[in-house]
């Protein structure tokens, strides 16, 4: 028997009484439960958009996100992956933009399932990749002469047995060819400066992803990069400007105190592995490393366990400094650089809303780009600089809208009614 009175003993004693009622005990089905769990494949890490881009994603040239939501978000261009086998022939006599830095704005690609190309912001729209295949995450090569995209060749979108293939085509969608073997969970890819090959992080995330080189000039097998550390697991590889002789990536490897993460750089042939940061990070640290086009900075995001917020860091490779540049009161992160390397575009977010934001590299004077969108489960808010750096495209897959915003002044910008919130790539043309 328990006595309760209005003084609050009811609440005080309720936990004990509930424990008495429930009588917690290890249930007899626990072994079955553990067996059932062990027989269940874990969802690939790359399907958790929020893992890398918590409340959304900064769309960039080389990011793939193969499931339906990602697709809408297109992230992209990362995607871009690719290639071109035939492409050099076609593009060799064309004036092309430099591999890094500002360029002139060209066509835009968007869509998922089918891929559409828009001839600039004011031109016409046409279907460039259609039919029964599931194609998405379209983008362009660095020189703008080839269209690249991902094609699902096996499994359901986002399922553990899904396989994806990198494809390349002419900008009008014709001549599409597979440039890679079917890939397991491609997490991120980036094109070499001369567009001759792409580096992609791929493989079962529960085992650990590897870096593969996909040659765009031949149809031979992929080549795995051996950095001399068999314990290394790789994520988010990007070529380091301005000459692209090194690949920057987030690595997780064995240390004297257990597995830890950090940022690394290595040559494409696997030689010269070096650390760019301490190798002391946990699961939520050193996320989404993005080099500036001029190669001077790397932006990354880490988890502040005390404040329970994401923090945005700028690593200055020349000065050897690492600064937190985010608002101390809010989660900010997942930054990418403007083509001129002078500004960063990042997400400012909480549990309920996500805002695309642009600021100088030191994080000062942030400017909001587009509306402060409400968070929608499995949907994302993304932003990407135009090739000339004067505008920002803001995608919100939740409301299915894309806005073009002045990168200098911000605001809600102009709604692009043809896009439906999933512009994934913007062609770079010679200035």
Which residues sit at the interface with other proteins, rule CB under 8 A? 1-6, 10-11, 14-15, 17-27, 29-30, 32-34, 36-37, 40-45, 47-48, 50-51, 54, 205-206, 282-284, 303, 305, 308, 351
Given a contact cutoff of 8 angstroms between Cβ atoms, the answer to whether 321 and 328 are in contact is: no
Which element (helix H / strand E) includes 16?
A: helix 9-22
Cβ neighbours for 274, distance < 8 A, ≥ 6 positions apart:
264, 265, 266
For 46, which DSSP code?
A: G
Q: Which is nearer to other proteins, 301 or 402 (CB)?
A: 301
Cβ 252 to other proteins, closest distance in Å?
Answer: 13
Spatial distance between the Cα atoms of 58 and 357, rounded to a whole number of angstroms:
10
Residue 109, beta-bridge partner list: 117, 425
Q: Which of 369, 401, 383, 373 is nearest to 337 (CA)?
A: 383
Least distance in Å: CB of 62 to other proteins? 21
Q: How far is the CB of 222 from other proteins (least distance, A)?
A: 24
Residue closer to other proteins (CB basis): 53 or 191: 53
Nearer to other proteins, 4 or 89 (CB): 4
CA-only gyration radius of the chain, Å: 23
- Is the CB of 172 or the CB of 352 nearer to other proteins? 352
Q: Which is nearer to other proteins, 40 or 364 (CB)?
A: 40
Beta carbon of residue 7, minimum distance to other proteins (angstroms, whole number): 9
Least CB distance to other proteins at residue 130 (A): 33
**Residue 310 bridge partners (DSSP):** 303
**CA–CA dist 238, 265 (Å, integer):** 9
- Kindly tell me which of 269 and 352 has the beta carbon lying closer to other proteins: 352
**Is 143 in contact with 128 (CB distance < 8 Å)?**
no
Length of the chain: 431
Smaller CB distance to other proteins: residue 26 or 329? Answer: 26
Report in angstroms how near the CB of residue 1 gets to other proteins at its nearest. Answer: 5
* Residue in 320, 318, 365 with CA at minimum distance from that of residue 344: 365
Closer residue to other proteins in complex, CB, 44/421: 44
Query: Which DSSP string corresponds to 257-286?
Result: TEEEEEEEEE-TTS---EESS-S-B-TTSS
CB of 20 to other proteins, least distance (A): 5
Q: Is 130 helix (H, G, I), strand (E, B) or coil?
A: coil
Q: How far apart are CA 288 and CA 280, in angstroms?
A: 16
Minimum CB–partner distance for residue 54 and other proteins (Å): 7
Contacts of 120 (CB under 8 A, 6+ apart): 105, 106, 107, 108
């Amino acid at each position: 028997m328990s006595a309760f009175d209005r003084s609050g003993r009811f609440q005080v004693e309720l936990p004990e009484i509930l424990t008495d009622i429930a009588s917690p005990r290890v249930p007899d089905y626990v072994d079955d439960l553990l067996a059932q769990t062990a027989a269940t494949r874990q969802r690939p890490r790359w399907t958790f958009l929020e893992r890398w881009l918590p409340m959304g994603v900064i769309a960039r040239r080389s990011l793939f996100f193969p499931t339906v939501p990602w697709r809408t978000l297109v992230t992209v261009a990362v995607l871009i992956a690719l290639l071109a086998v035939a492409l050099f022939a076609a593009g060799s006599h064309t004036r092309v933009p430099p591999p890094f830095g500002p360029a002139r704005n060209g066509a835009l690609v968007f869509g998922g399932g089918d891929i559409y190309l828009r001839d600039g912001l004011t031109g016409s729209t046409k279907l460039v990749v259609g039919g029964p295949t599931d194609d998405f995450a379209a983008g362009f090569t660095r020189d703008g002469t080839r269209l690249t995209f991902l094609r699902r060749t096996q499994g359901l979108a986002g399922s553990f047995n899904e396989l994806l293939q990198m494809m390349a085509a002419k900008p009008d969608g014709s001549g599409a060819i597979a440039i890679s073997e079917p890939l397991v969970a491609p997490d991120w890819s980036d094109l070499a400066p001369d567009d001759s090959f792409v580096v992609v992080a791929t493989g079962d995330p529960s085992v650990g992803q590897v870096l593969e080189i996909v040659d765009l000039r031949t149809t031979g097998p992929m080549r795995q990069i051996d950095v001399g550390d068999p314990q290394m697991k790789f994520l988010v590889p990007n070529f380091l400007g301005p000459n692209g002789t090194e690949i920057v990536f987030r690595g997780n490897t064995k240390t004297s105190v257990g597995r830890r993460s950090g940022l690394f750089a290595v040559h494409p042939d696997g030689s010269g592995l070096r650390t760019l940061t301490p190798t002391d990070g946990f699961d939520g640290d050193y996320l989404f490393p993005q080099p500036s086009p001029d190669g001077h900075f790397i932006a990354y995001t880490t988890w502040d366990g005390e404040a329970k917020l994401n923090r945005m860091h700028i690593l200055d490779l020349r000065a050897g400094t690492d600064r937190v540049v985010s608002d101390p009161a809010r989660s900010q992160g997942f930054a990418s650089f403007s083509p001129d390397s002078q500004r960063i575009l990042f997400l400012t977010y909480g549990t309920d809303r996500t805002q695309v934001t642009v600021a100088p590299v030191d994080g000062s004077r942030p400017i909001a780009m587009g509306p402060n969108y409400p968070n929608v489960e499995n949907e994302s808010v993304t932003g990407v600089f135009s090739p000339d750096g004067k505008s920002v495209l803001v995608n919100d897959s939740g409301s299915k809208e894309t806005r073009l915003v002045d990168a200098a002044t911000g605001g809600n910008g102009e709604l692009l009614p043809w896009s439906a919130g999933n512009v994934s790539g913007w062609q770079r043309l010679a200035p």
